[in-house]
Chain A
Amino acid sequence: MGLFIAQILTGLANAGALFMVASGLSLIFGVTRVVNFAHGSFYMLGAYVGYSLMQVLPGMVGFWGAILLAGIIVGLIGVIVEICVLRPVYSAPELFQLVATFGVILVIQDLALMIWGPQDLLGPRAPGLKGVIRIMGEPVPQYDIALIVITPFVAIALWYLITKTRVGTLVRAATQDREMVSALGVNQAWLFTGVFFLGCALAGLGGALQLPKGGADLLMDFTILGSVFVVVVIGGMGSLPGAYLAAVIISVLNVFGVTYAPQSTLVLMFVVMVIVLMFRPFGLLGKEEIAGEHGQVGEPERPIKPAGNRMRLLVAAGLLILGLLPFYSGNFAVVLVTDIMIFCLFAASLHFMLGQGGLVSFGHAAFFGGGAYAAALFVTYADTPMELALVLAPICAGLAAIVIGWVCLRSTGVYFAMLTLAFGQLLWSLAFQWGDVTGGDDGLVNIWPSDWASDNDVYYYIAFVLCIGGILLLRQAAHAPFGYAMRAARDSARQAEAMGINTKRIQWVAFTFAGIMAGLAGGLFVFSKGSIFPNELETARSFDALIVVFLGGVKTLSGGWVGAAFFEGIKDYLTRFEYWRLALGLSIIFVVILGPEGIVGSLRKAGERFGILKVPEDAT
Chain B
Amino acid sequence: MSPILSVRNLSRNFGAIKAVDNVSFDLAKGELLALIGPNGAGKSTCFNMLMGQLKPSSGTVQLLGKNIAGLQPRKIWRMGVGRTFQITATYASMTVVENVQMALISHHRRLYSLTSFAHKLYREEALALLDTVGMVDQAERHCAVLAYGDLKRLELAVALAHDPILLLMDEPTAGMAPQERIALMQLTADILDARGISVLFTEHDMDVVFAHAHRIMVLNRGELIANGTVDEIRNNPQVQEVYLGGGTLFKAQEDAHA
Contact = CB atoms under 8 A, between A and B. Distances in A.
A497 interface: yes
A494 B85 contact: yes
A499 B142 contact: no
A497 B90 CA distance: 12
Nearest to B121: A481
B73 A498 contact: yes
Nearest to B96: A303
Contact of A484 (B73, B74, B118, B142): B118
Given A300-B92, A300-B93, A479 B78 contact: no
5 contacts: A303-B142, A305-B119, A481-B121, A488-B102, A495-B90
Contact of A499 (B51, B77, B92, B93): B77
B74 to A, nearest CB: 5
Interface string B118-144: 110100000000000000000011111
Given A302-B142, A497-B74, A498-B83, A491 B113 contact: no
Contacts of B183: none
Given A303-B143, A491-B90, A495-B85, 20 more contacts: A303-B98, A306-B117, A479-B117, A480-B114, A480-B115, A481-B105, A482-B113, A484-B118, A488-B102, A491-B93, A492-B91, A495-B158, A497-B73, A497-B74, A498-B77, A498-B89, A499-B74, A499-B161, A617-B141, A620-B145
A73 B238 CA distance: 69
Contacts of A473: 114
B37 to A, nearest CB: 23
A459 B14 CA distance: 65
Interface residues of A, number: 36
Contact of A618 (B103, B112, B142): B142
A228 interface: no
B166 to A, nearest CB: 13
Contacts of A268: none
Contacts of A301: 92-93, 144
A482 B113 CA distance: 6
A253 interface: no
Contacts of B78: 500
B108 to A, nearest CB: 9
A497 B72 contact: yes
A76 interface: no
Contacts of B117: 306, 479-480
Given A303-B93, A482-B111, A500-B107, A616 B118 contact: no
B95 interface: yes
B74 A498 contact: yes
Interface string B20-52: 000000000000000000000000000000010
Contacts of A509: 112
Nearest to B144: A300
A476 B115 contact: yes
Contacts of A454: none
B182 interface: no
Interface of B: 51, 72-74, 77-78, 83, 85, 89-95, 98, 101-103, 105-107, 110-119, 121, 140-145, 158, 161-162
B98 A481 contact: no
A502 interface: yes
Given A480-B113, A488-B102, A501 B74 contact: yes
A492 B89 contact: yes
A333 B145 CA distance: 46
B91 A482 contact: no
Contacts of A305: 119
A482 B92 CA distance: 17
B141 A618 contact: yes
A485 interface: yes
A483 interface: yes
B73 A479 contact: no
Contacts of B107: 499-500
B103 A300 contact: no
What 7 pairs between A and B have smallest CB-CB spacing?
A: A495-B89, A300-B144, A618-B142, A491-B91, A484-B118, A301-B93, A492-B89
B126 to A, nearest CB: 13
A616 B142 contact: yes
A485 B111 contact: yes
Contacts of A488: 91, 94, 102
B106 to A, nearest CB: 4
Contacts of B90: 491-492, 495
Given A483-B118, A499-B103, A501-B106, A303 B112 contact: no
A487 interface: yes
Interface in A473-528: 473, 476-477, 479-485, 487-488, 490-492, 494-495, 497-502, 506, 509
A398 B115 CA distance: 20
Contacts of A620: 145
A509 B83 CA distance: 27
B102 A485 contact: yes
Interface in A601-620: 616-618, 620
A481 B93 contact: no
A529 to B, nearest CB: 31
A484 B89 contact: no
Nearest to A301: B93
Contact of B106 (A300, A499, A617, A618): A499
Nearest to A303: B95
B111 A506 contact: yes
B48 to A, nearest CB: 12
Nearest to A306: B117
A456 to B, nearest CB: 33
Which of A300, A302, A305, A618 is packed against the most chain B CB atoms within 10 Å? A618
Contact of A487 (B74, B91, B113): B91
Contacts of A490: 93
A206 B144 CA distance: 46
Interface in A297-351: 300-306
Contact of A491 (B94, B115, B118): B94
A340 B113 CA distance: 30
Interface in A410-467: none
Contacts of B101: 484
B113 A500 contact: no
Nearest to A486: B111
Contacts of A499: 74, 77, 102-103, 106-107, 158, 161-162
Given A303-B142, A499-B103, A481 B116 contact: yes
A500 B105 CA distance: 10
A447 B144 CA distance: 51
B74 A477 contact: no
Interface string A580-615: 000000000000000000000000000000000000
A490 B90 CA distance: 11
Contacts of B112: 481-482, 485, 509
A488 B158 CA distance: 13
A498 B118 contact: no
A481 B111 contact: yes
A394 B111 CA distance: 23
A192 to B, nearest CB: 28
A492 B119 CA distance: 19
B155 to A, nearest CB: 8
Contact of B77 (A500, A616, A617): A500
B73 A487 contact: no
Nearest to A502: B74
Contacts of B102: 484-485, 488, 499
A492 B102 CA distance: 12
Contact of B94 (A303, A479, A494, A617): A303
A479 B94 CA distance: 12
A469 to B, nearest CB: 14
A620 B143 CA distance: 12
A305 B143 CA distance: 15
Contacts of B118: 479-481, 483-484
Given A481-B112, A495-B85, A618-B145, A487 B77 contact: no
